[in-house]
């Protein structure tokens, strides 16, 4: 039993490394109290990976610092741990790979971060659209973008879970809270004369 568990753990670790996440993030670390726009029940449901089994998309939409990338990485990690092959990339890096035809591996979940942050040239946009179209209703895609939902294609959002993380920066609020907390704990020493 222990040998099987160890083998499963090593396989999950391998899938996590193969996903190329830029940093570690977990769903336990996400602070829902800082971003009330994100429903913990929806995230818990997504963590079961049923949406991936069905080939449904996920769209995380909100301003910078609202938790999109955190959730993208954490849900991708949960999928890898559940046995799914995951690939994390930014939109710009994916377009470069598509143009160079460098990556023809099939994965169960393709995660694209920073979609809409940089404007793609026409060829890059066409290649990205083609890659998304080929995955439609077959394999899941999870996207994080700062672009408003109204600018999205209905093809991309068909059967999608859409989470709008809002406009209040989670990172900024956390940094401010840490500074306030540090200031409260600073002890002022009296000057000697």
List the CATH number of the domain containing 118. Answer: 3.40.50.300
| pLDDT at position 189 | 52
Give the rounded distance of the alpha carbon of 165 from its chain centre: 12
Domain contains 187: no
Domain contains 191: no
* Gyration radius of the chain over CA positions: 20
The H or E element that residue 184 is part of is helix 170-184
Domain contains 189: no
Domain contains 177: yes
Domain contains 141: yes
Q: Domain containing 115: what range?
A: 2-181
DSSP-derived secondary structure letter, 150: G
Q: Could you give the CA distance from residue 81 to residue 21 in angstroms, rounded to a whole number? A: 13
From first to last of the 193 residues of the chain, give the pLDDT tens digit.
788 888 888 999 999 999 999 999 999 999 999 888 999 999 999 999 999 999 899 999 888 888 999 999 999 999 999 999 999 998 888 777 766 543 455 778 888 888 776 677 777 777 777 777 777 777 788 888 877 655 555 556 677 888 888 877 777 777 887 888 777 776 555 555 4
Overall domain count for the chain: 1
Domain contains 186: no
| pLDDT at position 192 | 55
| pLDDT at position 88 | 93
Domain contains 190: no
């Amino acid at each position: 039993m222990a040998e099987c568990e160890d083998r499963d753990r090593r396989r999950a670790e391998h899938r996590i490394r193969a996903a190329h996440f830029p940093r570690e993030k977990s769903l336990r670390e996400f602070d829902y109290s800082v971003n009330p726009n994100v429903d913990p029940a929806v995230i818990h449901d997504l963590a079961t990976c049923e949406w991936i089994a069905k080939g449904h998309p996920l769209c995380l939409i909100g301003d910078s610092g609202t938790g999109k990338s955190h959730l993208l990485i954490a849900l991708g990690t949960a999928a890898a741990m559940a046995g799914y092959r995951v690939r994390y990339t930014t939109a710009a890096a994916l377009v470069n790979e598509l143009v160079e035809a460098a990556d023809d591996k099939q994965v169960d979940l393709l995660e694209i971060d920073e979609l809409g942050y940089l404007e793609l040239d026409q060829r890059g946009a066409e290649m990205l659209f083609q890659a998304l179209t080929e995955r439609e209703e077959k394999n899941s895609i999870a996207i994080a973008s700062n672009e408003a939902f109204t600018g999205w294609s209905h093809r991309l959002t068909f059967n999608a879970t859409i989470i709008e993380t809002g406009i209040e920066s989670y990172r900024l609020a956390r940094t401010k809270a840490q500074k306030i907390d540090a200031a409260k704990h600073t002890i002022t020493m009296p000057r000697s004369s």
